[in-house]
């Protein structure tokens, strides 16, 4: 069992003696606080935080992080409070411990809600100090190493959470050493049979592989000596979870994945990296389009290396990674490399930085800024949790701005994702995009090396349809945030109109509602302010006639027409067509200006407009209180969808003729369906955009003039 003396010996190789003393003091404090507590396995509880600190000590973390690791459970599992830690160990350690601690004092309705809240709190603390997540990752790693003592259901839940959340976070921050072990342990727990079979297959195949690996390494060393390139060559074993994922995602057999021989070459500097690529390409033939330069264009997590694939001896495929020692340190420990070199430089009396490590820090901070922005726009912790999970993916594409700046985006990103990656305002006002100087649809997926220019306009705003194709968490959360606020403001405006219309029936207006009347209405309807009340009315959650009657009763007003049911709802609500998301036009009958219409109030959606002849109206007849008298405003300048149906003769070019005729009538085609009725005729259904009934009549008249159209009607 690990002891504090062993930890002190390890960290004493890079920390100052007084810093080691502070870590030992933290151990003494934690051991007293956890006195008598045991883990489920039966060992003293203090063993766990000591192991967590040892993991971080191997990563050469600073003394504050090590002290926080040893203390990380005292707030959660003992009577110790944050102020006590702050007093004894300083503000930095106290904030780290608090950031890692769970929200155990708060009761949640479900495990998912608790998980989301804990995750949100941890990431917010991490945004203030990224060492929080390093402690949490080390904590999770030791918990995964000791899962065997837990019951099966809990083991599976923790393993799934590890693969879904913590391993991707470790990857995102470049902490590869922890990420690989988390994935292996999670895989072994979640899929024990698959893990065992793969492990057996690897052990069987290892004997022959050793000979091939030795031969390839010898050839590489010989060629590098001939070219006078100093460096180290390591055979790189693929880890089990990586093999499993590749087999699953690419539908490959075990031999297809495991027959690839992987090597890593560590050299002195960047220039030598590129010389080494030329050397290995002269030794073995390179595979076309398999060279990747992550030195010139680092990955989002700061990872830098040259990757190439070769045809080796006997035709075996070889993968080679070429990097400097510092790049290798960043690849293994990611953001933690900053503290590794910081402690080394302090020990040497130097504070000189390194561009690679600075870039890693900058990229991590950029990701954290996005996390903070997502937190502000998320409606609740669960939504925030889902947004961050979406953002934790390794595959990327590299896109150029018109000025030549390189931006990394997740694979599958669209021009809208790119716009939001530049700035939220650019995304919100995006109206078009050019890829390599050509106009493209906004949903176009981007590929490596493209140059993208975003066209924005002050009148532009997000479209709900964007949510169906964006892939970045930032774009999704910002679009939802904008639409939610837009819908709320539209609902408030509509709610005021609806209430005012009902008040007119009692010879009142909204201006007649004084402060006392409004307080009465808010109290009766359990709303905190006027906007909430109007929003509920606009969204159909509360009925305007009932709210108006509450006010009338409170003012003891009786209308001359109150008992005349024929006058109820007599004042129609004018529909402009610009009400936005709270007034919707039914897809069953496609109403357009000029049609006699009815409105139906639907909870959470606002008003749905139907034509008076719509067949679906019948099923709502028993809900008269939700019907509202509506009419079109005299001046409507928008465009409305309408469905037209026609039968045409099966003649070549008839569809093109109909489409051209619709365009000549200044109407836009949204969609078309074709269904062959028999050998002679085909049924066509178009959804077109028109301004009103007169415009539709013009379109239909022009289509009737086409000789191959035998019948046409609306809907």
- Is 500 a domain residue? yes
Whether the predicted model's global pTM rises above the 0.75 cut: no
Q: Which domain holds residue 407?
A: 365-471
Tell me, yes or no, whether 462 and 502 share the same domain.
no
Q: What pairing do the DSSP bridges indicate for beta strands 583-585 and 606-611?
A: parallel
Tell me, yes or no, whether 95 and 224 share the same domain.
no
Q: What distance separates the 2 farthest-apart alpha carbons in the chain? A: 107
- Work out the burial of residue 590: count CB atoms within 10 Å of its CB; fewer than 13 is exposed, 13-18 middle, 19 or more buried: buried
326 catalytic residue (yes or no): no
Q: Is the per-residue pLDDT at 126 higher than 80? A: no
- Is 184 a domain residue? no
**Which residue is catalytic, options 21, 62, 77, 666?**
77
Tell me, yes or no, whether 285 and 407 share the same domain.
no
What DSSP element (H or E) covers 440?
strand 438-440
Q: How far apart are the first and last CA of the chain?
A: 78
Tell me, yes or no, whether 31 and 79 share the same domain.
yes
φ/ψ bin of 342: left (φ > 0), alpha (ψ from -120 to 50), beta (otherwise): alpha
319 pairs with which residues across the strands?
Answer: 262, 309
**Which residue is catalytic, options 21, 62, 76, 269?**
76
pLDDT of residue 565: 41
Residue 40 belongs to domain with CATH number: 1.10.3210.10
Distance in angstroms (rounded) separating the CA atoms of residues 393 and 206: 31
Tell me, yes or no, whether 617 and 501 share the same domain.
yes
Tell me, yes or no, whether 35 and 136 share the same domain.
yes
Mean pLDDT of 104-123: 59
Q: Where does the pLDDT of residue 561 fall: very low under 50, low under 70, confident under 90, or very high at 90 and above?
A: very low
Tell me, yes or no, whether 386 and 248 share the same domain.
no
Tell me, yes or no, whether 565 and 661 share the same domain.
no
Distance in angstroms (rounded) separating the CA atoms of residues 586 and 610: 6
> Which residues are within 8 A (CB) of 113 and not within 5 positions of it... i.e. 6 or more apart?
381, 382
Distance in angstroms (rounded) separating the CA atoms of residues 15 and 357: 20
- Is 354 a domain residue? no
pLDDT: which is higher, 589 or 388? 589
Distance in angstroms (rounded) separating the CA atoms of residues 642 and 401: 40
423-443 pLDDT, tens per residue? Answer: 999 999 998 999 988 888 888
Tell me, yes or no, whether 486 and 466 share the same domain.
no
Domain end (from 315, 334, 353): 334
What is the count of structural domains for the chain?
5
DSSP assignment string, 380-437: SHHHHHHHHHHT----EEEEE-TTS-EEEEETT-BHHHHHHHH-HHHHHTEEEEEETT
Of 393, 423, 426, the residue nearest 410 (C-alpha): 393
- Is 257 a domain residue? yes
Mean pLDDT of 598-602: 83
Q: What pairing do the DSSP bridges indicate for beta strands 630-632 and 573-575?
A: parallel
- Is 444 a domain residue? yes
Tell me, yes or no, whether 459 and 512 share the same domain.
no
Domain end (from 99, 129, 145): 145
Mean pLDDT of 406-434: 89
**Total Cβ atoms within 10 A of residue 199:** 12
- Is 463 a domain residue? yes
564 catalytic residue (yes or no): no
Residue 685 belongs to domain with CATH number: 3.30.70.260
- Is 352 a domain residue? no
- Is 169 a domain residue? no
Domain end (from 120, 145, 170): 145
Residue 244 belongs to domain with CATH number: 3.30.460.10
Tell me, yes or no, whether 442 and 511 share the same domain.
no
Tell me, yes or no, whether 441 and 536 share the same domain.
no
11-26 pLDDT, tens per residue? Answer: 999 899 999 999 999 9
454 pairs with which residues across the strands?
Answer: 433
């Amino acid at each position: 069992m690990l002891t504090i003396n062993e930890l002190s010996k390890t960290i004493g190789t890079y920390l100052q003696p007084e810093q080691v003393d502070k870590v030992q003091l933290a151990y003494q404090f934690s051991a007293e606080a956890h006195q008598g507590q045991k883990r489920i396995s039966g060992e003293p509880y203090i063993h766990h935080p000591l192991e967590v600190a040892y993991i971080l000590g191997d990563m050469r973390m600073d003394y504050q992080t090590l002290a926080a690791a040893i203390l990380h459970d005292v707030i959660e599992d003992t009577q110790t409070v944050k102020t006590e830690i702050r007093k004894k160990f300083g503000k930095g350690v106290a904030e780290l411990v608090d950031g890692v601690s769970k929200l155990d004092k708060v009761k949640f309705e479900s495990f998912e809600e608790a998980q989301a809240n804990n995750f949100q709190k941890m990431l917010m603390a991490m945004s203030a100090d990224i060492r929080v997540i390093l402690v949490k990752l080390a904590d999770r790693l030791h918990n995964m190493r000791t899962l065997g003592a837990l019951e099966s259901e809990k083991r599976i839940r923790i393993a799934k959470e590890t693969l879904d959340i913590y391993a991707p976070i470790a990857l995102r921050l470049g902490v590869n050493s922890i990420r690989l072990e988390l994935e292996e342990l999670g895989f072994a727990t979640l899929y024990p049979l698959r893990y065992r079979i793969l492990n057996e297959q690897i052990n069987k195949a290892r004997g022959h592989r050793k000979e091939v690996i030795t031969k390839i390494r010898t050839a590489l060393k010989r060629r590098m000596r001939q070219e006078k390139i100093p460096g180290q060559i390591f055979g790189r074993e693929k880890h089990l979870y990586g093999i499993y994922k590749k087999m699953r995602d690419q539908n490959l057999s075990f031999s297809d994945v495991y027959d690839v021989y992987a090597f890593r070459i560590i050299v002195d500097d960047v220039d030598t990296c590129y010389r080494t690529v030329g050397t290995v390409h002269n030794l073995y033939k390179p595979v076309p389009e398999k060279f990747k330069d992550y030195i010139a264009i680092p990955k989002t997590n700061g990872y830098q290396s040259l990757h190439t694939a070769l045809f080796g001896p006997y035709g075996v495929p070889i993968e080679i990674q070429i990097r400097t020692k510092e790049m290798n340190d960043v690849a293994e420990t990611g953001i933690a490399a900053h503290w590794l070199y910081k402690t080394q430089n302090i020990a040497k009396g130097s504070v000189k930085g390194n561009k690679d490590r600075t870039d890693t820090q900058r990229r991590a901070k950029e990701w954290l800024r996005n996390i903070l922005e997502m937190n502000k726009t998320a409606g609740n912790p669960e939504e925030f949790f889902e947004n961050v999970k979406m953002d934790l993916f390794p595959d990327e594409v590299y896109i150029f701005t018109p000025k030549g700046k390189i931006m990394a985006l997740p694979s599958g990103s669209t021009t809208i994702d790119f716009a939001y990656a530049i700035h939220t305002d650019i995304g919100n006002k995006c109206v078009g995009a050019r890829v390599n100087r050509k106009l493209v649809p906004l949903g176009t997926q981007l590929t490596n090396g493209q140059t993208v220019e975003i066209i924005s306009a002050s009148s532009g705003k997000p479209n709900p349809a964007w949510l169906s194709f964006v892939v970045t968490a930032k774009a999704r959360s910002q679009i939802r945030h904008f639409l939610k606020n837009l819908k709320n403001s539209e609902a408030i405006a509509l709610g005021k109109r609806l209430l005012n219309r009902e008040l007119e029936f009692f010879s009142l207006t909204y201006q007649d509602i004084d402060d006392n009347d409004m307080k009465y209405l808010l109290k009766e309807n359990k709303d905190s302010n006027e906007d909430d009340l109007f929003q509920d009315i606009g969204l159909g959650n509360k009925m305007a006639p009932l709210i108006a009657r509450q006010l009338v009763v409170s003012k003891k007003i009786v209308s001359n027409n109150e008992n005349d049911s024929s006058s109820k709802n007599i004042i129609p609500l004018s529909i402009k067509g610009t009400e936005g998301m709270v007034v919707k036009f039914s897809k069953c009958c496609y109403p357009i200006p000029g049609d006699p219409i009815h409105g139906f109030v639907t909870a959470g959606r606002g008003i749905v407009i139907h034509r008076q002849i719509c067949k679906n109206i019948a099923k709502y007849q028993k809900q008269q209180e939700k019907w509202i008298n509506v009419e079109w405003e005299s001046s409507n300048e928008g465009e409305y969808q309408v469905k037209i149906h026609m039968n045409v003769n099966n003649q070549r070019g008839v569809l093109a003729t109909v489409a051209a005729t619709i365009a000549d009538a200044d109407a836009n085609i949204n969609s078309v369906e074709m269904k062959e009725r028999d050998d002679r005729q085909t049924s066509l259904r178009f959804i077109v955009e028109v301004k009103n009934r007169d415009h539709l009549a013009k379109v239909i008249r022009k289509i009737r003039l086409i000789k191959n159209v035998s019948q046409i009607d609306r809907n």
